[in-house]
Amino acid sequence: MKVSPIVTYSLENWKGYNKLFCNKKIYAGSQYYYSFGTIAYLLFYGISFIIFIILEQKPLYKKIIYLFLYSIYLLLVILFCLICAFTDPGVVPINGLTANELKNSNCCSSTRVFYINGIRYKVRFCYTCQIIRPVGSSHCKTCNVCVEKFDHHCPLVGNCIGKNNYRYFFVFLILINSFFIVTLFSSLCAIIFNKNLISIYIVLLSVLTMLFITTLLIYHIKFTCRNMSTYSNLKMKDTFILFGNPFSRKNCKKNCYFTLFKKYVKRIDFTIKTHQPKESDSLTSINSSNSNSQSLNFRTFNSYGRRNINIGY
């Protein structure tokens, strides 16, 4: 008997507000254009510094060297801003279930829980994406997708910050902070030694901007060293206070490695692929790469609805 090919992941079922460009090869956050506003601010700030401070330097060779180094640094900050905006944060593939299949697969009662390193963690089912969410994942209302190790939706880059692009976001925070610090001290030196009073407004811009981005960097350094996320800190704050952080590797170096340097397999391919299934294959169109499919997860629960796992997040 002939069986027609099924689509393992079809963009017709895609419910997210994210954008796909260049024949679906480039992923962009739902508000990717916000990153252009961040870049415009950086360019305005950087060009002002170049005009009022760098171009006033003497002799000529010093002016050229400062201009070259500062321009490279500015372009590097802009580059990481764009990388954050146009990188898949770790979108979890949706399940193409029918209404009856969705009703039958919904087993997320209060008796079904994970135990992460001995700490109770409720199973979460996403009705929009029709999946059991991986541990630490959440549904972003702005992008309308579930994201693995969801941290937050960042207005600076207009994209979710998750497992796949958190390292780029962290580098972006370090670069933009050091960029403003260098500019601030250079502007102060110009005021003190060269009596360049025009650069006062650059100092004011630097201070106002750093009140936000420096606080954000300190916040994420703390979470990186503890292998946490903004979302998990907000939703599991009581658990952290009572039992400690279940995701921590009990070692700062290991936590930083798993957060910033561990390579992750891309779960989702935004191009349409088909395959010829065997007769024994399920007729349900479910992404084969989705390790959080209903059957896989529910089989791992015991008769009491519990699943014991040891995870480093």
- Say what the pLDDT of residue 157 is: 94
Q: Which amino acid is at 278?
A: K
Q: Around Cβ 128, how many Cβ atoms within 10 Å?
A: 13
**Residues listed for the chain:** 313
- Point out which residues pair with 122 in neighbouring strands: 113
Confidence (pLDDT) at 167: 93
Which of 126, 129, 154, 160 is catalytic? The answer is 154
Domain boundaries defined on the chain: 1-13+91-152+240-313, 33-85+165-226
> Which letter, b or e, does each residue of 130-150 get, where b requires 16 or more Cβ atoms within 10 Å of its Cβ?
bbbbbbbbbbbeebebbbbbb
The answer to whether the beta carbons of residues 103 and 109 sit under 8 Å apart is no
Q: Which of 307, 249, 313 is nearest to 118 (CA)?
A: 307
Is 129 one of the annotated active-site residues of the chain?
A: no
pLDDT value at position 103?
57
- Identify which of 282, 271, 266 has the alpha carbon closest to the alpha carbon of residue 6: 282
Instruction: Read off the tokens for 82.
Output: 């764009």
What does 125-179 look like in DSSP terms, one character per residue? EETTTTEEPPTT-EEETTTTEEETT--EEETTTTEEE-TTTHHHHHHHHHHHHHH
pLDDT of residue 105: 56
pLDDT in tens, the chain (313 residues): 333 333 334 455 567 888 888 887 888 989 999 999 999 999 999 999 998 888 888 888 888 999 999 999 999 999 999 999 999 998 888 776 655 665 565 555 444 666 776 677 777 778 788 787 887 888 999 999 999 989 999 999 999 999 999 999 999 999 999 999 999 998 888 888 877 777 888 899 999 999 999 999 999 999 899 888 888 888 777 666 666 777 777 788 888 888 888 877 666 666 544 444 444 343 333 333 443 444 344 333 333 334 444 444 5
Q: How many CB atoms lie within 10 A of CB 30?
A: 19
* pLDDT for position 284: 35
